[in-house]
Amino acid sequence: MKSYVPNTIEERREMLKAIGLDSMDELFSDIPKELRLDRELDLPAPMSEMELRDLMIGYILQNDEGGLLFRGAGAYRHYIPSVVPQLAARSEFYTAYTPYQAEMSQGMLQSIFEWQTVICNLTGMEASNASVYDGATAACESMLMMRDSKRKSRVLYSAGLNPDVIAAIKTYAHCYGIELAKVPLDKFGLTDMDALKAALPDSAGFIAAQPNYYGCIENMDAIAEAVHEAKALLVSYVNPISLGALKRPGDYGADIAIGDAQPMGLPLNFGGPYVGFMATSGKLIRNLPGRIAGETTDAEGGRAFVLTLQAREQHIRRDKASSNICSNQMLCAIMSTIYACTMGPEGMREVAEQNIAKAHYLASEMCKLRGFTLRYNTPFFNEFVVDTALPAEVINEALKEMGIVGGLILPDGGMLWCATEMNTKEDIDFLVDMLNNIIEGGEEA
Amino acid sequence: MRQSYKLIFERSREGRRAYDLPALDVPAVDAVPANMKREGKLDLPEVGEVDLVRHYTNLSRRNFGVDNGFYPLGSCTMKYNPKINEEVASMSENMHPILDEDMAQGSLRLMYDLEGYLCEICGMDAFTLQPAAGAHGELTGLMLIRAYHEKRGDDARKTIIVPDAAHGTNPASAVMAGFKVKEIKSAPDGGVDLDALREAVGPDTAGLMLTNPSTLGLFERNIKQIAAIVHEAGGLLYYDGANLNAIMGIVRPGDMGFDVMHINLHKTFSTPHGGGGPGSGPVGFKKHLEPFMPVPALVEREGMIELDYDRPDSIGKVKSFYGNFGVIVRAYAYIRSLGGAGLREASENAVLNANYIKNALRGVYHIPHDRICMHECIVTPTEEMMEKGVHTTDIAKALIDRGYHPPTIYFPLIVHEAMMIEPTESESRETLDEFIGAMKAIANEALTNPESVHACPKNTPIGRPDETTAARKPIVRYTRPE
């Protein structure tokens, strides 16, 4: 039987004897007898490592991840350089916990400090935390930051946020007692500025998305101006890969920049673990939730890194903490940091530009087909919405037969397509050929 | 030994690069509107691949994990993280989260099966795997309690009772879920004071949050009475699963009377702590809370696992997608490796190891509640040590010099100068004996040469850091020298 307990039965007996006990059962004498489980847990039988590996392969074989992927919608397939998983597999990192003891955790603390610097420099902000669970929970935490710093309980959000993010902020807002109001998109797929301006009075702030869920590049200058005119805060939910090409939140005056760093070096992994980032201006630093690493000196004057500003946190402030967050997504943050440092400024720019080029090539080739029209006549990043004459379900079912994961079908029947640097011209041309076959097949039928 | 280490930003040299991409095979386009184009170059490091690799390899060497040595950090269950689990978790990394259900049956089935195992281990009726960490699970569980009372029109129930021995996340999560917190003092034996609890409950009681074994590492013997008091007052019982490693296969939260609970998969179920995450905080609950669980629920229909969003009373989503899947796979592999008897064996030996340490330190350190403990024990410096000016911090720093990660210190708050030692079942008797020897040597040194203890740690890359200045004048990112 598999066991990770090193002590032999004989050693256990000797240890029990050392503490004056005869049996393991006596260790549990504080537990009322009638509560104790009088049987073994009803679980599948234990297995060897070899059998476990086969079992897990069996599960994998029930999956079909598709050959070609043209879907994003909040989870993006990008190239992950080998150094990222290789370095994150250093078990000094991954088998450690939160760096409570700075002297023996300088590696982790410095890595957090480097992550914070990467996030600040990518977003153009002044302070970042050590991460939160994902982009959706970053949005949830940003609502608390806005409420507490503005002392207003009304928060606006863009209809262009990812639907999972919207679902999460609704759940949290109900508990926080925050009144949420949606700002719709206009016919160009962009924030309806008149609606935004009308909704802003008495609001703590507005959560915008750049690019938005439908891929459209928003005019964040105009949004920031309107939000600040109303003395509200602007939270900008950004795809970090887009920041290789797009203006940074700090450049247009966003007060808080958030998002999910999954596109930077994290595999799709069926939705997690990903990593949420939160960065802000210096004046809101004490409203940030969670861990923050800071630079200081040791007794001899050498540079040292520590967890800092802990007076915000749950283990000190308990019911008055800025958040309940304790564990975050540190290892994922290290992976994203290594990704960003591998790519460097040129790599981040090139990836962003390749994404734009691939998505535009896909859109233009696809929309040459009969019955495929681009919904929004608006600049986009690596995603776009197409309306189709054939039902989207018919298209995707047919693509699935060919090992292609097509665009995500939206509730209104449109299709949200995505292309990244991973989609070659050959793949895109193949997809478009297949779509053409599907159209012709549909017309014959 | 002391040696500071450059930041990756300080290794940057213009023009160096560690990346390459295939040449662009489609026309480049200038699609970004002029006013949304980023100006200038991003301020990220420019380094060669070998420099990058050495940088992070050497940073890892300035860190300490379970693979380096003994890590008895109380309440955190730093058990060994099996290597096979890392390997199997990487097998399905390319799965996009939004696929037709028939394409994801392997992943969905694994999650569904794990929910079933967790129900059996905990005596609960259902589980959701969505929460990303323990505190996130607490928040989710409290949202279920809130939704339950709201659905019944029981709107006055706005107070969550929390013992003063509780983890800090408990009161913080209660406030985030929109509750008021009423803290109750512990009884002299460290357990819940039944009279104080009786006095605290009332028509405003939404529930009680409890860790059992408690943060003192002691089993709450009055759990049945506690459950009765809370339930009779109309409240629900929340189980903080941080200490579940003590009781697998021995007693189940559901059988103790708890209505809702979370598990830290990164503690009890051996998934790596990642330097502070990712964890995973599944929430289990009894039937009466099931209507409120987050969407999507996993349901089996005609042999297929489906994602069910059609749950009108659901609290909604608490994060994107379905949970920290990569962590879930590791926990699943752990349970399948060990089976029911193996899980019980793990808990028994976790408890045995803690008692072995406590027993050996008796008479050398002060043991505030000296009875059979569960998976962790609490010791404090003796009066004599403190008279010499040696405190818990100093002992922790002296342990670092001897190659150990210190226990959790200054927690629980109700024990003055607490050191919370959780050895876990992973440690052999020699490791425990060596640690006990180190603790005794430090105790001796504290009495005979306290200055030497104050000077610890000596064998680390940095000495004790100045935390006050760090908080007063926070430097939280690197800025290039002018």
Over the stretch B381-391, which tens digit does the pLDDT of each residue have? 999 999 999 99
Cα separations (Å) of A228 from A137, A150, A183, A204? 24, 12, 16, 11
Q: What is the pLDDT of residue A332?
A: 98
pLDDT for residue B224 is more than 90: yes
Measured distance CA(A252)–CA(A221) in Å, rounded:
6
Confidence of residue B482 (pLDDT cuts 50, 70, 90): confident
Task: Burial-class residue B44 by CB neighbours within 10 Å (0-12, 13-18, 19+).
Answer: buried
**A–B: how many Cβ contacts below 8 A?**
678
Q: Which residues of A touch B243 (CB under 8 A)?
A: none
Q: Which residues of A touch B217 (CB under 8 A)?
A: none
Token pair recorded at residue A258? 């958030």
H-only helix segments in A20-124 = 49-61, 83-88, 91-94, 106-123
Query: All domains of chain A, ordered by start, with CATH?
Result: 68-74+345-444 (3.90.1150.10), 83-339 (3.40.640.10)
Q: How many Cβ atoms from other residues are within 10 Å of residue B39's Cβ?
A: 7
Q: What is the pLDDT of residue B323?
A: 97
DSSP string covering B11-65: G--TT------PPP-S-----S-GGGBPPS--------HHHHHHHHHHHHHT---
Residue A356 near chain B (CB below 8 Å): yes
- Structure confidence by residue, pLDDT tens digits, A61-116: 999 988 899 999 999 999 999 999 999 999 999 999 999 999 999 999 999 999 99
Q: What is the pLDDT of residue B1?
A: 67
What residues does each domain of chain B span? 83-337, 344-468
Q: What is the pLDDT of residue B66?
A: 98
Q: How many Cβ atoms from other residues are within 10 Å of residue A56's Cβ?
A: 23
Region A8-33 average pLDDT = 97
Measured distance CA(B11)–CA(B6) in Å, rounded:
7
Measured distance CA(B295)–CA(B290) in Å, rounded:
11
Tell me the shortest Cα–Cα distance from B439 to chain A, in angstroms.
17
Measured distance CA(B361)–CA(B379) in Å, rounded:
8
pLDDT for residue A2 is more than 80: no
Region B409-428 average pLDDT = 96
Query: Between chains, do A46 and B338 touch, taking CB under 8 Å as contact?
Result: yes
> Whole-prediction pTM value?
0.97
Region B167-172 average pLDDT = 93
Query: Between chains, do B96 and A47 touch, taking CB under 8 Å as contact?
Result: no
- Structure confidence by residue, pLDDT tens digits, A337-351: 999 999 999 999 999
Region B139-160 average pLDDT = 97
pLDDT for residue B128 is more than 90: yes
Region A176-186 average pLDDT = 97
Q: What is the pLDDT of residue A445?
A: 60
Question: What is the chain B residue with the closest CA to A38?
Answer: B250
Q: What is the pLDDT of residue A426?
A: 98
Nearest-10 Cα torsion for A108, A109, A111, A114: 180
pLDDT for residue B46 is more than 80: yes
Q: What is the pLDDT of residue A191?
A: 98
Question: What is the chain A residue with the closest CA to B412?
Answer: A315
CA-based diameter of chain A, in Å?
85
* B122, B175, B430, B462, best to mutate vs chain A, most A CBs in 10 Å: B462
* B59, B209, B309, B430, best to mutate vs chain A, most A CBs in 10 Å: B59
Check residues A1 and A46 and name the one with the higher pLDDT: A46
Residue of B53, B44, B35 whose CA lies nearest to A349:
B44
* B13, B55, B98, B124, best to mutate vs chain A, most A CBs in 10 Å: B98
Token pair recorded at residue B190? 């460290």
Please state the separation of Cα A162 from the chain's center in Å: 11
pLDDT for residue B267 is more than 80: yes
Fold classification of B83-337 (topology level): Aspartate Aminotransferase; domain 2 (3.40.640)
Q: Which residues of B touch A12 (CB under 8 A)?
A: 349, 352
Region A43-63 average pLDDT = 95
Measured distance CA(A60)–CA(A54) in Å, rounded:
10
Q: What is the pLDDT of residue A143?
A: 97
Q: Could you tell me which CATH class the domain B344-468 is placed in?
A: alpha beta
Question: What is the chain A residue with the closest CA to B13?
Answer: A344
Q: How many Cβ atoms from other residues are within 10 Å of residue B43's Cβ?
A: 17
The pairing of strands A303-307 and A293-297 is: antiparallel
Residue A279 near chain B (CB below 8 Å): no
Measured distance CA(A431)–CA(A424) in Å, rounded:
11
Cα separations (Å) of A308 from A224, A304, B279, B471? 31, 12, 22, 5
Q: What is the pLDDT of residue A389?
A: 96
Residue of A403, A73, A126, A101 whose CA lies nearest to B394:
A101
DSSP string covering A156-225: EEETTS-HHHHHHHHHHHHHHTPEEEEEPB-TTSSB-HHHHHHH-TT-SEEEEEES-TTSB---HHHHHH
Measured distance CA(B24)–CA(A425) in Å, rounded:
9
Region B12-30 average pLDDT = 97
Q: What is the pLDDT of residue A320?
A: 85
Confidence of residue A313 (pLDDT cuts 50, 70, 90): confident
Task: Burial-class residue B232 by CB neighbours within 10 Å (0-12, 13-18, 19+).
Answer: exposed
3-state secondary structure of A332: helix
Residue of A415, A135, A435 whose CA lies nearest to A271:
A135
Region A317-326 average pLDDT = 86
Average pLDDT taken over every residue of chain B: 97
pLDDT for residue A315 is more than 90: no
pLDDT for residue A368 is more than 70: yes
Query: Between chains, do A270 and B63 touch, taking CB under 8 Å as contact?
Result: no
Q: What is the pLDDT of residue A336?
A: 98
Q: What is the pLDDT of residue B9?
A: 98
Q: Which residues of B touch A363 (CB under 8 A)?
A: none
Residue of A47, A89, A71 whose CA lies nearest to A392:
A71
Q: Which residues of A touch B266 (CB under 8 A)?
A: 327
Question: What is the chain B residue with the closest CA to A242?
Answer: B38
Q: Which residues of A touch B10 (CB under 8 A)?
A: none
- Structure confidence by residue, pLDDT tens digits, B307-357: 999 999 999 999 999 999 999 999 999 999 999 999 999 999 999 999 999
Residue A402 near chain B (CB below 8 Å): no
Measured distance CA(A67)–CA(A100) in Å, rounded:
44
Q: What is the pLDDT of residue A180?
A: 98
Q: What is the pLDDT of residue A20?
A: 97
Q: What is the pLDDT of residue A250?
A: 97
Query: Between chains, do B103 and A65 touch, taking CB under 8 Å as contact?
Result: yes
Those residues whose C-beta lies under 8 Å from the C-beta of residue B56, and which sit 6 or more positions away, are A87, A90, A111, A334, A338
- Structure confidence by residue, pLDDT tens digits, B25-36: 999 999 999 999
